[in-house]
């Protein structure tokens, strides 16, 4: 059994520009979005990754995980 290895967003990299800018079919944009294989591969890679960005607001008075299970 192989252990599951999470892929974090920093392992995958950053998208620095839209792949649509230099696409041969860019004149079809945005109608081509649903059939674009490159965008589908990018979406799949990003949706299978674990985000490392902060998920809470710095304006929240408490961390979200601290409020779980507390009685008020």
Question: pLDDT tens digits, residue range 12-57?
Answer: 666 778 888 888 988 898 889 899 998 888 888 777 676 666 555 5
Cα–Cα nearest to 46, from 20, 11, 5, 4 = 11
The pLDDT assigned to 30 comes to 86
Which DSSP string do the residues of the chain spell out, in sequence order? Answer: -PPP-PEEHHHH----S-TTTT-TTGGGTTTTGGG-HHHHHHHHHHHTEEP-S--S-TT-SS-HHHHTT---
């Amino acid at each position: 059994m192989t252990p599951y290895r999470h892929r974090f967003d920093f392992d995958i990299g950053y998208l620095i520009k839209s792949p649509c800018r230099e696409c041969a079919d860019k004149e079809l944009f945005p109608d081509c979005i649903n059939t674009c294989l490159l965008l589908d591969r990018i979406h799949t890679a990003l949706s299978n990754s674990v985000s490392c960005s902060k998920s809470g607001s710095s304006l929240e008075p408490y961390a979200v995980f601290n409020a779980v299970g507390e009685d008020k």
